[in-house]
Amino acid sequence: MNDITAAITAIRKELGPRLCIMGHHYQHDTVIRHCDITGDSLELARQAAGIAADHIVFCGVYFMGESAALLAKAGQRVYLPEPDADCMMALMAQPRLACTVLETLRAGGRKVIPLAYVNTTLALKAVVGEYGGAVCTSANARIMLRWALQEADSVLFLPDKHLGRNTGRQLGLTPDDWHILRCNGRGLIEPEKQPLDRPLLLWPGCCAIHAKLKTGDVQAMRSAWPGCRVVAHPECHPDLIELCDGSGSTSFLIGEAARIAQESPGSTLIVGTEENLVQRLAQRHAAACHILPLGHNAVCPHMAKVTEAKLLDTLSSIVSGQFAPGTGPVQLEEAHCPPARQSLLRMLDICGR
């Protein structure tokens, strides 16, 4: 055990149940090994609401810490070991622009509600709550999109156009049923020339990390590993997902790895998602099967900003009560909290807590 690992272990022991460390699956193993709870966005959001600890340290990107702080109880504090770790996709949906677009879409009297992936800022979640919409994750996107389509004439899905289309397809929608909005910084470009009456309107954002994975990678792996099974996260391009044997949330991919290890020992599973998770699955099931990443270097640089050393800094600050500027508890914009909370709780209510 190195010095940093030993120091973290000692502080965890000292704080006991007053501390809870949460970690997203995309975190590095050196961080994950200290976490009390690991999960994908949905699992962590669900668990955050039930935690009793005074101090919640969230090893993930900023929007995850915001969601945990939003669901935290009075007196609980949420800390991020690296407050500059941001989700690039979340930053693609600016709240003011989303408001402008929603107003344009509703101008003709049509009922349009927003459905936002959890990978969005607090301010964007607040817009979603104000316009009667909800949040979703990749694990429950199908349930939430079905709900939203029943509630409105059109659904504005944001920010991930890939997840939106992949989910729409699962519900039987075709390319004629959706439209990727053309926007600039001021709003919709020539709205009269866009098919805005389609049921599924997609914000033009995506995850740059999953977008690195290409259809050619699937073909290359199938040639190199005949008989392999290929699964990928629905943040990947729909053309890639079409070539896969299965697709689903991070939890689905973890379950697939466990299933293949148990049911098909010696076989090969190719997993298309963030590489830290794939490498962890490969190690976990190394004795039973081969698990390989699809593509190369699909590592989220922002998730990677959280390190074991930064986790120790945060824990030391909690113990001493002394925080360097910008590293204290997550502070939320008070005005955004009620509508943002509403959009998150709507998801938890619809999907069962």
Site for ligand SF4 in 47-66 (CB under 6 A): 61
Q: Which range binds ligand SF4 by CB under 6 A, 84-92, 138-146, 173-181, 311-319?
A: 84-92
What letter would DSSP give residue 102? H
Nearest by Cα to 123 from 348, 337, 344, 347: 337
Cβ neighbour number for residue 209 with a 10 Å cutoff = 25
| 89 in contact with ligand SF4 (CB under 6 A) | yes
Who contacts 330 (Cβ-Cβ below 8 Å, separation ≥6)?
A: 58, 65, 66, 68, 69, 77, 78, 79, 80, 83
d(CA 167, CA 16): 41
Binding ligand SF4 by CB under 6 A: which of 87, 101, 112, 196?
87
Select 152 or 277, whichever has its Cβ closest to ligand SF4: 277
300 lines the binding site for ligand SF4 (CB under 6 A) = yes
Q: What does the alpha-carbon distance between residue 274 and residue 277 come to, in Å, rounded to a whole number?
A: 6
Query: Any idea what the Cα angle at residue 122 is, between residues 117 and 128, rounded to 5°?
Result: 55
Using the rule CB under 6 A, is 294 a contact of ligand SF4?
no
Residue 131 — left, alpha, or beta (φ > 0 → left; ψ -120 to 50 → alpha)?
alpha
Number of residues that bind ligand SF4 (CB under 6 A): 11
Closest CA to 93 of 122, 73, 113: 122
The tokens for 278 are 């794939």
Secondary element (H or E) of residue 47? helix 41-48
CB 311 to ligand SF4: min, Å: 18
Instruction: Tell me: does residue 340 bind ligand SF4 (CB under 6 A).
Output: no
Nearest approach in angstroms of CB 207 to ligand SF4 is: 3
From residue 139 to residue 178, the character string flagging contacts with ligand SF4 as x (rule: CB under 6 A) and all else as - is ----------------------------------------
Residues 106-125 that bind ligand SF4 (CB under 6 A): 119
Which CB atom, from 253 or from 260, has the smaller least distance to ligand SF4? 253
Position 302 contacts ligand SF4 (CB under 6 A): yes
CB of 94 to ligand SF4, least distance (A): 16
Under rule CB under 6 A, residue 310 binds ligand SF4: no
Residue (51 or 61) nearer to ligand SF4, CB: 61
Stretch that binds ligand SF4, among 66-74, 175-183, 299-307, 334-342 (CB under 6 A): 299-307
- Residue 192 tokens, joined: 């009269």
Residue 297 belongs to what H/E stretch?
none
Q: Is residue 277 a contact residue for ligand SF4 (CB under 6 A)? A: no
Query: Which residues contact ligand SF4 by CB under 6 A?
Result: 61, 87-89, 119, 207, 209, 274, 300, 302-303
